[in-house]
Each structure stands twice: as structure tokens, then as C-alpha cells.
Amino acid sequence: MTVEAGMATLKQRDCKRLILFMGCSFVFLLGGKVNGNAEGGKTEQSCNALRSMARMHMALGNYAKAEPLAEQALSLAKTENVSDSQLSMCLLDMAWLCKDRGRFDDAEVMCKDGLELLEKARGKNHPYVAYTLRILGSIYQEQGRYSSAETVLNRALGVMLASHSSTDHIIAPFQVDIAKLLVARGKFTEAEFYYVQARALIDKSYGPNHLYTARVLGDVARLYTLQGRYSEAEILINRALAVQQEVYGPDHHMTAPTLLTMAGICKARQDYTEAERLIEKALSLSESNYGQEHPVTGKILSRLGRLYIAQDRYTEARDVCQRAVQVLEDSLGSFNDHTAMALNNLAKLYAHQGRYAEAEVLCRRALDTLEQIFDRNHPNTADILETMAQLCDKTGNHAEAARLWRRVEQIRSHTQAAIAKVIK
């Protein structure tokens, strides 16, 4: 299928979405123009055409339609004599698709293979190498391998700064990736530093109605929500959703992260009805696009279970929390921070049911995971320690409970002090 024929199959609204999407983080992540370089003969051109169509679908979030096209391109590149550069691009497209489908091990292998070929073809300091390192960093982050993600993302930024000014808009996505990683690691002050720099470049280069601008606004809103800065978060997340709905439509799975941030704001304000509606909508969008066993679905189930527990709706929480743990353990493994927090939710539920020994086992598993992945002052660690302290109080071990409560207070005071410093 030619690119022109493929474009003809897109609906008019989809073409509008695609045009608005160009230049967004997706293109930055995969490096270069959508249709790549038309180098070589007919085989190279055929690979380019297949990859172009795949990327059009990927830009719209239609990964199921993109995957067979990307697979065809990769198969053609492997069986014919194409350039290392072309083969690397095919591998990277598939790495991105595998990541989206939750096949992180496959994604890592393809990304590393693509990186090796790209370094051979372009050199280790080419901007395309930096884009590839961004993909690898995103894979590591999904796997909970945050130290590895930090290493490759810092290298990517260094490669770009060697050939571009720090005020060049092309630097912004690299700063955003590092900021998102820092948020996951609980380093909110450092994250905001990177977001401030990136937003200055993004606002100037892309404008307020660009899809990438909206995505970054959503990321910053999530950071503000985690910091308890709900009014600031609400302004940004409403702006982000308006742009996303204009491009994607009102019921597209790409809006799910935005809906979850809005739900977090509502939950903090104890508007549980609206929070539940938003989480359930995000869950429905995730299940319809990714399936019931995807890690994104598991993370949303964990959020829903936590909301039920906050309302003492333990009967409803039971099935949701158990399902969240199962999905996340199957998709991300036991050694993952998202799995750990789902275990903590289940421990809270068991504590309410009087199943104290089982709850303690889950808490210790969760705490051991977090303390190996993060430092001792990570905000999520405080949540698990709080559950453990409540368990100790319930079982009469008040001395241990007091010790745990002191540590919870120390972690949260440390976090709040850092937030106050940023706001000031």
C-alpha cells in the first residue's frame, strides 16, 4: 500500500488529528520525519512507505493497526539488503509498539539492536542516537528500572546539547523525559526545574493549542497534584483536556492519563463521585484499547481500589485490588513499584478484614521492593509505612507503631519542605 493510498483511507477528522500531531513527542521519540529518508532502491522505499503508514496510525493511537505494517517493514528489511539505518528505524518502530503493547522485554531487545545499528551507521553522537536513547529510557521506566533510565536519558540530553543550544526547542522533549523520571523517583523539586525550562521552549515553539504542549501541561499538572497544589493543577489539566479532546475526540484512550490526574484532584477534595466517574472512564478506555491484562489497566485498577478504600467501600475494593495485583504481577513482575503499591492497597483491605498476618507479609514485600528501587525518603514509602503502623496499632504493638509513625512523619516533612521551597 502506498502512503497516498493509505492517506485516502483516513477520515477527514483523522487527517486533522494527524496534522496537529506532527512534531509531537511521538515523532521526537522515533527520530526525524515521519517518512524518514528515501534512500536506496525500491526495497528502501517500500520500507519507508510501510513505516509511514504505521506511524500515521501510531500518531492517532491506533497501535493495533500500526503493528502489522511495522512488522511487514521489519520483515522486508531483514530479508532484503537494506541499509543499517533503515533496519534500525524498523527495529525502533517495533520497539515502540512492543512497549505500548506491554511487551517490555521484546521492546528492550529491539531497541538495543536498533541502537547498535544506528550507532554504526550514524556514529554515537548523532541526534537519532539521542532519540533512540529516549525510547530505551521509556522502556526502562516502564520496567521500574529507574537508575538505568536516568543513565540513558542523561546521555541522550548530553548528545543533543553537543550539537544544539540549550535554548533550542528540540531540547525540550529530553528535558520533559528527565522531569517525568524524577517525578517517578519522588524528586519533585528537581523535576519542576526541568519542567520550567522545557515549558519555556515549548510555549514559544509550539503554542498553546499544540498536542505536545497539552501533554506536557498534563505532566506538570500531575506533579502539582502530587505536591498538593490542586488549584494550579486544575488550571493546567483543564487546558490539556480541551486540546486533547479537540484532536482525539471525547472518548479516546490517549486522554486517560489526563482523566486520572483530574480524578486525583477530585479525590483530594473529597469529591469521590466525580473521581470515581473519571477513573472508571479511564479504565473503560484502557480496557477497550489495551485489554484487561495490560499494565496500564492494572495501574488504573489500583487507583480505583485506593479510591474505594478511602471511602471504606471494602467489599467493592476487594475484587478490584486483587485483580490489580494479579494484572501488575503478570505484566510488570513482582519487583516493580506499581506492583508494590497495589500490594499495599490489598494489605489495607486485609487489615480491615482482620487478616493481619497476611497484610504484614504484603507490606513487607512492598516495602522491600520500594527501598531497593528508590531512596528511603520516597513519598510512596511513607504510604506503606503508614499501613504497617496501623497494623501494629491494631495488633497491640504500640512501640513499633510509634517508631513507624515517626518515620512516616519524617518522610512527609521532608517532602513538604521541598515543595514549600519550590513554591516560595
pLDDT digits (tens, 9 = 90+) for 269-301: 999 999 999 999 999 999 999 999 999 999 999
pLDDT value, residue 19:
43
Those residues with Cβ within 8 angstroms of residue 153's Cβ, 6 or more apart along the chain or in another chain: 133, 134, 137, 174, 177, 178, 181
Reported as a single tens digit per residue, the pLDDT across 182-238 is 999 999 999 999 999 999 999 889 899 999 999 999 999 999 999 999 999 999 999
Task: Read off the amino acid at residue 397.
Answer: N
Reported as a single tens digit per residue, the pLDDT across 7-36 is 344 444 454 444 444 444 444 455 444 344
Taking 70 as the threshold, does the pLDDT of residue 106 lie above it? yes
Taking 50 as the threshold, does the pLDDT of residue 260 lie above it? yes
Which H or E run contains 421?
helix 398-423
HSE, side-chain direction, 13 A CA sphere, residue 377: 11
Residue 40 CB coordination number (10 Å): 17
Q: Would you report the helix, strand and coil content of the chain in percent, each value rounded to 5? A: 80, 0, 20
- Let me know if residue 109 belongs to a domain: yes
HSE, side-chain direction, 13 A CA sphere, residue 326: 8
Answer for the pair 164, 195: CB distance below 8 angstroms, yes or no.
no
For residue 84, give the CATH number of its domain.
1.25.40.10
- Let me know if residue 30 belongs to a domain: yes
- Let me know if residue 257 belongs to a domain: no
What is the spatial distance between Cα 175 and Cα 184, in angstroms, rounded to a whole number? 14
What is the spatial distance between Cα 51 and Cα 43, in angstroms, rounded to a whole number? 12
Answer for the pair 253, 288: CB distance below 8 angstroms, yes or no.
yes
What is the spatial distance between Cα 329 and Cα 315, in angstroms, rounded to a whole number? 22
Residue 144 CB coordination number (10 Å): 22
Answer for the pair 110, 92: CB distance below 8 angstroms, yes or no.
yes
Output the CA torsion 111→112→116→117 (10° steps): -30
- Let me know if residue 22 belongs to a domain: yes
C-alpha cell at 123: 556514529
Residue 85 domain boundaries: 1-142
Q: How many domains does the chain have?
A: 1
pLDDT value, residue 424:
58
Taking 90 as the threshold, does the pLDDT of residue 73 lie above it? yes
Confidence band, pLDDT 50/70/90 cuts, at residue 5: very low
Output the CA torsion 157→159→162→167 (10° steps): -30
- Let me know if residue 333 belongs to a domain: no
Q: What would the mean pLDDT of 161-169 be, rounded to a whole number?
A: 94
- Let me know if residue 13 belongs to a domain: yes
What is the spatial distance between Cα 346 and Cα 328, in angstroms, rounded to a whole number? 13
- Let me know if residue 38 belongs to a domain: yes
- Let me know if residue 246 belongs to a domain: no
Reported as a single tens digit per residue, the pLDDT across 334-383 is 999 999 999 999 999 999 999 999 999 999 999 999 999 998 899 999 99
Residue 283 CB coordination number (10 Å): 22
DSSP 9-52: HS-HHHHHHHHHHTTSHHHHHH-S-TT----SSHHHHHHHHHHH
Q: Is pTM, for the whole model, over 0.85?
A: yes
What is the spatial distance between Cα 95 and Cα 111, in angstroms, rounded to a whole number? 5
Q: What would the mean pLDDT of 235-259 be, rounded to a whole number?
A: 95
Mean pLDDT score of the chain: 90
pLDDT value, residue 186:
95
Reported as a single tens digit per residue, the pLDDT across 43-65 is 888 999 999 999 999 888 888 89
Q: Looking at 123-205, list the stretches that DSSP marks H as alpha helix, in order from N- to C-terminal side.
A: 127-142, 146-163, 172-184, 188-205
C-alpha cell at 366: 512492598
What is the spatial distance between Cα 366 and Cα 385, in angstroms, rounded to a whole number? 10
Q: What would the mean pLDDT of 104-131 be, rounded to a whole number?
A: 96
